[in-house]
Amino acid sequence: MAFVHLDVLCFYSLLICTAFSSVSSNAEIKVNPPQDFEIVDPGYLGYLCLQWQPPLFLDKFEECTVEYELKYRNIDSEDWKTIITKNLHYNDGFDLNKGVEAKIHTLLPPHCTNGSEVQSLWSEATYWKSPQGSQETKIQEMDCVYYNWQYLLCSWKPGLGVHFHTSYQLFYWYDGLDHATQCPDYIKVDGQNIGCRFPHLEASDYKDFYICVNGSSDSHPIRPSYFIFQLQNIVKPLPPDYLSLTVKNSEEVNLKWSMPQGPIPAKCFIYEIEFTEDDTTWVTTTVENEIRIARISNESQQLCFLVRSKVNIYCSDDGIWSEWSDEQCWKDDIWKETLVFFLTPFAFVSLFVLLVTCLLLYKQKAVLKMIFQRKKEVFSHQDTFC
């Protein structure tokens, strides 16, 4: 028993020594953070490049695949975006109305470090657009709509307290353009730019679309405003047309309409229907261009509906409802029913009167015929007597 106890003690001692040896071995393995970490603005209105160089003394890990863990965010954001990459750069979009901060460190995989991952210290970088002009000089109420997935229109209001002659310019960029481009067709009011009509935007869907509206004034500098959209999320379709309402029977109504015209596929629509039965109105939605609705009462005198369209969740994350279509109604012909109600008994009475009249006339004719025959017999008798 003493030998068994001794073997157990030796076994645990060996485990402890091995663990301390491993910890000691890993503690000796260190890796430096990436060098020259910086955030570069290539002039794409918020699409920035985060780039770095390999850490020093990386040649002793030649057989290892070194990775980098990158974290970044706008400064006011609570959440970090995290990327693990083997590259020496990474691009993403940021809101340049705010500052940008990022940090990165080097990762050595476990097979290079005796079984546990080794991380370097963090290397950090920040980026700010140089502020110019006061916050009040920025444009207000920026609104962009991608009408029928065909043409983009943006509008805004001038900043507070800016001079009447302040000149605003809009620039835009998305992946596929060589450089930021100025609006070619401004919307003007009293000579001041308050909107932009964009040209045909080739291959711009499902990409970040960057916009900057800046300005110039003789009295004071104007602070620029930055925006990021995804065009498929601000599409406003045309309203449906060719509505039809069919009363199938006393309990059910069939509503149907044509798909809005334009390039939007049929599978991308959702429809909202507002249905009114006499004084009762309710709203429902469907992805089809036809729906059947149960009537509240088979005595209802008027049924009406309108419909509008929107790009659904299968084709975008969001969208804008179209205008409502023209109203389509069905009215019960109450005057016809009233006329039938009154004419039916009148017809029966008229028929009865007609029958009675015919009977009376027939009876009168028979009586007259009988009188005529009697007179004829009297005259015949008189002639015989003479």
For residues 107 and 114, what is the distance between their CA atoms, to the nearest angstrom? 14
Of 347 and 193, the one with more pLDDT: 193
Q: What is the pLDDT of residue 386?
A: 44
Instruction: Specify whether 110 is located in the same domain as 175.
Output: no
Q: What is the pLDDT of residues 235-263, one digit of tens each?
A: 999 999 999 988 877 778 999 999 999 99
With respect to residue 117, please indicate whether it lies within any of the assigned structural domains. yes
Of 9 and 95, the one with more pLDDT: 95
Of 95, 127, 159, the last residue of a domain is 127
Could you give the percent of the chain with pLDDT greater than 90?
A: 54
Instruction: Specify whether 147 is located in the same domain as 229.
Output: yes
Q: What is the pTM for the complete model shown? A: 0.75
CATH number for the domain spanning 55: value is 2.60.40.10
Q: What is the CA radius of gyration of the chain?
A: 44
For residues 168 and 170, what is the distance between their CA atoms, to the nearest angstrom? 7
CB atoms within 10 A of CB 333: 10
Q: What is the pLDDT of residues 154-204, one digit of tens each?
A: 999 998 878 878 889 999 999 999 999 999 999 999 888 999 999 999 999
Residue at 259: amino acid letter:
M
Strand order across the 328-331 sheet: 280-286, 269-277, 302-311, 328-331
With respect to residue 386, please indicate whether it lies within any of the assigned structural domains. no
Instruction: Specify whether 181 is located in the same domain as 123.
Output: no
Q: Is 23 a residue whose pLDDT tops 60?
A: no
Of 217, 235, 253, the last residue of a domain is 235
CB atoms within 10 A of CB 60: 9
Burial class (CB in 10 A: 0-12, 13-18, 19+), 177: middle
Instruction: Specify whether 225 is located in the same domain as 211.
Output: yes
With respect to residue 2, please indicate whether it lies within any of the assigned structural domains. no
Instruction: Specify whether 46 is located in the same domain as 65.
Output: yes
Q: What is the pLDDT of residue 269?
A: 96
With respect to residue 29, please indicate whether it lies within any of the assigned structural domains. no
At which residue do the structure tokens 């444009």 appear? 139
Per the structure, the complete domain to which residue 179 belongs is given by 135-235
**What mean pLDDT value characterizes the chain?**
84
With respect to residue 384, please indicate whether it lies within any of the assigned structural domains. no
Listed range (16-25, 73-82, 277-286) with the worst mean pLDDT: 16-25
Q: Number of structural domains, the chain?
A: 3
Instruction: Specify whether 173 is located in the same domain as 265.
Output: no
Instruction: Specify whether 221 is located in the same domain as 201.
Output: yes
| φ, ψ of residue 101 in degrees (nearest 5) | -130, 150
